[in-house]
């Protein structure tokens, strides 16, 4: 199984919807814990890495990096 490299600023589609109806989240913090913000209502959640990797489905939009 390949590890996906998540970066700050990525928009991720999760397996389950948030109660507001949105299933897309923006990654604001990456590390042992992930900080994600709902793209629908702006709710912020901290989540351990293993749980996040299990719940994340796909990366909808990659963050733009300056190189």
pTM for this predicted structure? 0.85
pLDDT digits (tens, 9 = 90+) for 4-50: 889 999 999 999 999 999 999 999 999 999 999 999 999 999 999 99
- Asked whether residue 15 is assigned to any structural domain, the reply reads yes
DSSP annotation of 3 reads: P
Q: How many domains does the chain have?
A: 1
Distance CA 15, CA 62 (A): 18
- Asked whether residue 1 is assigned to any structural domain, the reply reads no
SS3 37: strand
* pLDDT for res 1: 53
- Asked whether residue 51 is assigned to any structural domain, the reply reads yes
Domain ranges, residue 49: 11-59
């Amino acid at each position: 199984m390949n590890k996906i490299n998540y970066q700050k600023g990525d928009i991720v589609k999760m397996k389950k919807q948030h109660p507001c109806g949105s299933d897309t989240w923006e990654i604001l913090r990456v590390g042992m814990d992930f900080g994600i913000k709902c793209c629908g209502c702006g709710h912020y959640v901290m989540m351990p890495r293993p749980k996040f990797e299990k719940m994340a489905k796909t990366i909808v939009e990659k963050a733009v990096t300056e190189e």
